[in-house]
Structure 1
Amino acid sequence: MSLQFEIVPVTPFQQNCSIIWCDETKEAAMVDPGGDIHLLKEKAQQLGLTVTKLILTHGHLDHVGGTAPLAKELDIPVIGPHKEDAFWLQGLPRQSEMFGFPLTEAFDPDQWLEEGDTVTVGNQTLSVLHTPGHTPGHVVLYSDEANVAFVGDVLFNGGIGRTDFPKGDYQTLIDSIKGKLWPLGNEMTFIPGHGPISTFGRERASNPFVADEMPLY
């Protein structure tokens, strides 16, 4: 048994929503369902999955826009992010206006996440890290067993998250990446909030923002 995932880019921002599932139970979760919920439901159906929860890495509209309607339609809970992002979720109507998105109502998740929490998907377990900097309540979820991390907008293939939003902080973000992500190991694959996947080792060797002179292998 193992954790599987499929990436579905959604919204005009081409945000990566990850459908993750336990291949033994076919129980699934959606990480950052930012919109285009018909596409997400179709994909889950094609894969023969039962979606039992929605997981949020942070409160920005392009990552959470489809959450409330999807949770209501499927009658499932919303897990995450960390409570420090409550102000982003409460500000969703304003975010919608600012980015020209359809009105997205404010909501709170059913459960906030803290560093050290775990989230189960079928027989699989994801561990939670609190990784502020892009937003103050950003979280990352990872599986040691599957060697994969879902990092939202903390780290990208060749880049890092923006820190010019309210309560964003550049040094805090760098500290989150180097202090929380790098210890998970160079071999770990990560799925960013936008763009192609990569590994922590590759970013340590070549990412201009956070490289640390580790030789490429």
Structure 2
Amino acid sequence: MLQFQIIPVTHYQQNCTLLWCDETREAAVVDPGGDIARILAVVAEKGVTLRQILLTHGHMDHIGGTAELVAQASLPVIGPHADDVFWIDLLPQQAQMMGFKPVAGFVPDQLLNHGDKVKVGNAELDVLHCPGHTPGHVIFYNRAAQLALVGDVLFKGSIGRTDFPRGNHADLINAIRTRVLPLGDDVRFIPGHGPMSTFGNERRTNPFVADKHYG
């Protein structure tokens, strides 16, 4: 079964997540935005073996620590979708704009498409392309654990911003309504910022995507 630990990082306190398979003890870090020493301390505490880095999208606060983690742990970088590579290429400008120290760039080892699957030990993650916040945003869903990592697509009571370059509000709403919420009301999700929720709760109460707004 897939296990997880949310690790808030940097002055943004965004959610980095450590995922691991409790059978193999193999692990992945999702969206290492920074504070790599803190992330590695949790890895050591859990006694798991890091195998890969998974990225939901290319914004600085979610990928800023990627190159440092690669340098320290020699891990492959998987994700996001090819349409977010331009954000990765803009890391220096993003760091300056968002008040982060300059960070090293990197090139993903594998870009992801809708329908792909990623393994963490024996646990399988479905990849869903969910553009809107960024054009190449993906989410990861593990059916067995009824758990999704949605990055900045959806939050408890809100949705991702779409006022960044190549953001698109209509695309985001469509992705949430047609690809995310249909995964099931009982699915828990880890957002890129803030507390966890369930898709059922958001279908009932989220002012942007609740069922009552869509007939």
- Deviation of 1:206 after TM superposition, in Å, equals 0.2
Match of 2:39, SS state, is: helix
Identify the residue that residue 103 of structure 1 maps to in structure 2.
102
Identify the residue that residue 83 of structure 2 maps to in structure 1.
84
Q: TM-score scaled by structure 2? A: 0.98
Identify the residue that residue 143 of structure 2 maps to in structure 1.
144
The whole-number CA distance in structure 1 between the counterparts of 2:11 and 2:61 is 8
- Name stretches of at least 5 consecutive residues in structure 2 with no aligned partner: none
Identify the residue that residue 203 of structure 1 maps to in structure 2.
202
Identity %: 57
The whole-number CA distance in structure 2 between the counterparts of 1:41 and 1:13 is 19
The whole-number CA distance in structure 1 between the counterparts of 2:12 and 2:157 is 18
The whole-number CA distance in structure 2 between the counterparts of 1:42 and 1:34 is 15
Q: Does 1:64 align with 2:51?
A: no
The whole-number CA distance in structure 1 between the counterparts of 2:13 and 2:177 is 26
The whole-number CA distance in structure 2 between the counterparts of 1:116 and 1:100 is 35
Match of 1:34, SS state, is: coil
The whole-number CA distance in structure 1 between the counterparts of 2:29 and 2:194 is 17
Query: Which string of whole-angstrom CA distances, capped at 9 and with x for unpartnered residues, describes residues 86-126 of structure 1?
Result: 10000000101111211123322000000011110111110
Alignment of 1:163-174 (within 5 A): 163-174=162-173
Match of 1:128, SS state, is: strand
Identify the residue that residue 133 of structure 1 maps to in structure 2.
132
Identify the residue that residue 5 of structure 2 maps to in structure 1.
6
Amino acid at match of 1:90: D
- Deviation of 1:41 after TM superposition, in Å, equals 0.1
The whole-number CA distance in structure 2 between the counterparts of 1:204 and 1:26 is 34
Amino acid at match of 1:131: C
Match of 1:195, SS state, is: coil
- Displacement over 4 Å in runs of 4+: none
The whole-number CA distance in structure 1 between the counterparts of 2:195 and 2:96 is 28
Contact 2:2–2:20 at 8 Å: present in 1 too? yes
Alignment of 1:37-52 (within 5 A): 37-52=36-51
Amino acid at match of 1:206: T
The whole-number CA distance in structure 1 between the counterparts of 2:105 and 2:8 is 23
The whole-number CA distance in structure 2 between the counterparts of 1:6 and 1:105 is 26
Identify the residue that residue 55 of structure 1 maps to in structure 2.
54
The whole-number CA distance in structure 2 between the counterparts of 1:185 and 1:142 is 11
Identify the residue that residue 191 of structure 1 maps to in structure 2.
190
Q: Does 1:35 align with 2:34?
A: yes
- Total equivalences in the alignment: 213
* 99-108 or 65-74: bigger deviation: 99-108
- Deviation of 1:213 after TM superposition, in Å, equals 2.6
